[in-house]
Amino acid sequence: MVNSLKNGAQMKIQQMAFMIVAVLIFFVLVGLAFIGWQFIGIKDNFNNLQKEQAIASIRTISDMPEFNCDSRRSLCVDEDKLIVMANSSYSGFWNVASIRAYKILEKKSYLVYDSKQKNRKEFSTYVLICKKITGNYEKCDIGKLSVGVVDG
């Protein structure tokens, strides 16, 4: 009689323990699924913010005194400055992964900065690439300024 009561109690404890373990596993699985979903959200947000930053910074970079023709014209890049910048160390300054400028007709390119990061996505805009020949004469070509960001 005592033995059967003991066995019954043990069974109930075992049942309850199994139930608790099952409930815990269920919550852990739900938690893991939620964290996974959250991480996808974070990654998407990070990529979107990186792209937004690249698009917003193209104009800002072309208008920087290190590149611009003069302080009155937007989206105009000085070719002499491009040559200088392509050969100088400005690393640690840029918030983007790469900066490159192309002269479309002459098929000439200037790599200003390359962080050497993989999985890059580039965004570009058309700019004027000008060079001062004399005090009053400037030679300009159509070019592209391309800014790279790390893509997820």
Interface residue with another protein among 7, 22, 36, 70 (CB under 8 A) is 70
Please, what is the minimum distance in Å from the beta carbon of residue 115 to another protein?
13
Interface residue with another protein among 92, 105, 107, 118 (CB under 8 A) is 92
Give the three-class secondary structure for 103. Answer: strand
Q: How far apart are CA 10 and CA 138, in angstroms?
A: 94
- With beta carbons less than 8 A apart as the criterion, state whether 110 and 86 touch: yes
Binding mask 34-63 for another protein (x = CB under 8 A): x---x---x--x---x--xx--xx-xx--x
| Integer-rounded Cα radius of gyration of the chain | 30
Pick the closer one to another protein by CB: 53 or 124. Answer: 53
Does residue 146 belong to the site contacting another protein (CB under 8 A)? no
Does residue 85 belong to the site contacting another protein (CB under 8 A)? yes
Pick the closer one to another protein by CB: 22 or 104. Answer: 22
Neighbours of 101 (CB within 10 A): 25
* Distances 18 to 4, 10, 21, 133, 140 between C-alpha atoms, Å: 21, 12, 5, 85, 78
Q: How far apart are CA 87 and CA 58, in angstroms?
A: 20
**Which positions lie near another protein, rule CB under 8 A?**
2, 5, 8-9, 12-13, 16, 20, 23-24, 27, 31, 34, 38, 42, 45, 49, 52-53, 56-57, 59-60, 63-66, 70-74, 78, 80-81, 83-85, 88, 90, 92-95, 132-135
